[in-house]
Structure 1
Amino acid sequence: MESHEELDRGLKNRHVQLISIGGAIGTGLFLGSGKTIQLTGPSILLSYTITGCIIFLIMRALGELMLSNLNYHSFLDFIADYLGKKAAFVTGWTYWFCWIAIAMADLTASGLYVSYWLPNIPQWLPEIIALVLLLSLNMVAVGLFGEMEFWFALIKVVAIIALIVTGALMLITGFKTTAGPVSLSNLWRHGGFFPKGGMGFALSFQMATFAFCGVELVGLIGGETSDPGKVLPKAINNIPLRIILFYLGSLLMIMSIYPWTSLSAEQSPFVQVFSEIGIAAAASIVNLVVLSSAMSACNSAIYSTSRMIRSLAQEGSAPASFKKLTRHRVPGNALVFSTLVIFIAVILNFFVPSRIFTIISSIATICFIFIWGMIVYTHMRYRKTNPQTKGNTFKLPLFPYTSYLVFAFLLFVLFVLALASDTREALIFSPIWFIALLLIYHFKYERNKPIFGRIFHHFGKHH
């Protein structure tokens, strides 16, 4: 009989498959892709391909870890085991911060999207309603979280498939837009495939990496499925196919329909395409899609931060009350705490200039790069500690070379972040977060040791 203190394994296969799709499709694809294309040109297709391959390797490393011990519910449990409590403390609270920042940004965005239809209502009202609704449903059962994510992701998928099918029909029929004929040659006829040169191509990796933040959520939800051994490998192995279909498919069609030079950086390319074929409600439809995308991200944030805090509490790195489960076997205290912190963002939106908010979001993205690096590093420690892994059929291919490739890519992205002024500030501020966590840990657990003597004292220690 399953212990009452075990999280509910109430997520079905269809939930996990759609959540893994939703995690790989950010709001940026619908709203920000016009701006992205303007900054980079058609070579953005190559950026997404390379970044997608790296993300797949990170997910394979995470999948191998998760399937090596099904008693663990998050990658934090592995970090505590293979790198020690201090590393788990820093990583856990950093991951919590990542998702809180994403929730803050998306909750703000959802208020703006609703005001598109209801311009006279105050922006904070739909934000509060959304937050209360998402918390209530998350409190009832994990299956309801899965059900919401399933439908949120489905809306995004339908919108992308509609765009791809529309674009394909335009190509076949030789449709002419206001900018000229629809043709694949639009990809290279306007300044070539790399119109912005090497620098423009390099800078595009910043945007491509931003787009995949949160994809590792599949590794967290895998622990709450009834059959992780079957569901998790399928969700991870399908990531490359989904990237090709959703990102490359939609961007390829957008840039074939319109020369990249004629796409508006201010307007969603999806709106432009659907308006072109005479759909009057195109802007409303895309607004519905981005609203569901923002709600989905906020929903995922409430879910993931609560699970991460519970893992931290189990490790002794957060108050013990966060370990408690409700009668529905969901971490109620952790859910309420995370939601209250996200709610502070609603209040701060009125008093703090948006520039500070941009810095917080950029710091969160840098923190995601840290999280991915920690997952791969933990996987390397796991392989070193367990050289005999023949029984595990789900392995990171070409280990350890693929691990080094991931690290090289993450360092390259950090270098790119240093090139752009808005992200350079975040890169400078990010160490403050890590220093603060190390100081908190030191004063809480290591008062008798030199303060910065051996910063990651537990690294490499097997507990």
Structure 2
Amino acid sequence: MDPWGSVPKGLSGFFAGFQIAVFAFVGIELVGTTAAETRNPQKVLPRAINAIPLRIIMFYVCSLLVIMAVTPWNEVVPSRSPFVEMFVLIGLPAAAGIINFVVLTSAASSANSGIFSTSRMLYGLAGQGVAHKRFSRLSARAVPVNGLLFSCFCLLAGIALIYLIPNVMTVFTLVTTVSAILFMFVWSIILCSYLVYRKKHPELHAASVFKMPAGKLMSWVGLLFFAFVLVLLSLQPDTRQALMVTPIWFILLAIGWKFRQRKSS
């Protein structure tokens, strides 16, 4: 096979990359979550949404094009950063430390965004009486402290997985696949909520200053795409394991919901 081919493994290899591609979009819903924290969402939200495609092209597409332009696919080492290998190839080994720092900073930023959104979500659910009332507690600086601590505690599950499963790549695949599935569920709920909103409140949509182009059609396209990705995840052995584990989370949520309902009644 051509080492410089764009799809050297055929369509099966192309579709196998959908799992990590979907995971890369985890957190994109934060645009809507943080809009409630801004003073002028009518102005800030459109600007943030329109900037997303440009940033994806710049930081994902262009970076991958550069890597594939200088490194044959059959020489990429999975255990090493392709960015570090690229700088070593062009004679800048010192850049490896800088790239590793950037990667760690990006990971910390992503975790910080997840903690922010999760703590705010727990605070909102507590205000509606769905979550425990302790999550509605705010600090002197209006920070949902209990939700924040609970979110940080849940991150420790990743450390436990590393001890239980020695293979780091297996843990990475498991975590990213489960996260992608759960977030596709969240995105599906958002799309369904949008469709219900369009049906029940057409006057509010008509008054909106920033409408989604072809909103109904693209919502159905998104739902079909998520279903297609789930089928793809069932075809690969490593992602199939994560797909089989994911229902445990929904079972735990159902048990917690039943317990909460029984306690409130």
TM-score, length-normalised on structure 2?
0.88
User: Alpha-carbon deviation of 1:377?
Assistant: 0.6
1:411, distance to aligned residue in structure 2 (A): 0.6
Structure 2 equivalent of residue 165 of structure 1? none
Query: Residues 342, 205 of structure 1: CA spacing in aligned structure 2 closer, same or farther, 3 A cutoff?
Result: closer
The reply on whether 1:417 has 2:233 as its aligned counterpart is yes
Answer whether contact 2:30 2:117 (CA < 8 A) is retained. Answer: yes
How far 1:194 moved relative to its partner? 2.5
Task: Select the residue among 361, 367, 376 that pairs with 2:191.
Answer: 376
C-alpha separation between the residues in 2 aligned to 1:295 and 1:440? 29
The correspondence for 2:8, drawn from 195, 200, 217, is 195
Question: What whole-Å deviation, never above 9, does each CA across 1:406-435 have from its counterpart, x for those lacking one?
Answer: 011101110111011111112112222213
- AA in 2 matched with 1:376: L
- Whole-angstrom distance in 2 between the partners of 1:282 and 1:257: 16
The offset of 1:350, in angstroms, is 6.7
Counterpart selection for 1:440 from 256, 259, 262 = 256
* 1:57-88 superposed Cα distances (whole Å, 9 cap, x missing partner): xxxxxxxxxxxxxxxxxxxxxxxxxxxxxxxx
Distance change >3 Å, CA 398–CA 344, structure 1 → 2? closer
Q: How does 1:11-410 map to 2 (within 5 A)?
A: 190=3, 192-343=5-156, 345-346=158-159, 348=160, 351-354=163-166, 357-358=171-172, 359-388=174-203, 389-410=205-226
Greater relative contact order (CA < 8 Å, ≥ 6 in sequence) = 1
Distance 1:349 1:205, change over 3 A: closer
What is the alpha-carbon distance in structure 1 between the residues aligned to residue 75 and residue 171 of structure 2?
30
Q: What is the TM-score with the length of structure 1 in the denominator?
A: 0.52
Deviation at 1:284, TM superposition (A): 0.8
Determine if contact 2:19/2:180 at 8 Å carries over to the other structure.
no
Q: What CA deviation, in whole Å up to 9, does each residue of 1:348-391 have, x standing for no partner? A: 25742246845354322211110011111111010001122222
- Cα offset for 1:305? 1.7
Identity %: 43
Q: 1:341 to 1:404 in 2, by over 3 A?
A: closer
Tell me, yes or no, if the aligned pair for 2:126 and 2:136 is still in contact at 8 Å: yes
CA offset at residue 332 of structure 1?
1.7
Amino acid at match of 1:369: M
Distance 2:111 2:23 in 1: 16
Contact 2:4 2:72 in 1 (8 A): no
Distance 1:382 1:284 in 2: 49
When the two structures are aligned, how many residues end up with a matched partner? 259
Distance 1:423 1:334 in 2: 30
How many Å separate the matches in 2 of 1:313 and 1:416? 36
Supply the distance in 1 between the matched residues of 2:146 and 2:128 (Cα, whole angstroms).
Answer: 16
**Structure 2: which 5+ runs fail to align?**
none
Q: Matched residues in 1 for 2:73 and 2:257: separation?
A: 50
SS of 1:247 mapped into structure 2: helix
Relative distance call for 1:440 and 1:267 in structure 2 (3 A) is: closer
User: Could you tell me how far apart the structure 2 residues matched to 1:422 and 1:369 are?
Assistant: 18
> Measured at CA, do residues 211 and 382 of structure 1 come closer, stay the same or move farther in structure 2, by a change above 3 Å?
same
Matched to 2:164, the amino acid is V
In 1: Cα distance, 2:30 partner to 2:120 partner: 11
CA distance in 2, matches of 1:193, 1:287: 27
Instruction: Output the CA distance in 2 between the equivalents of 1:197 and 1:203.
Output: 10
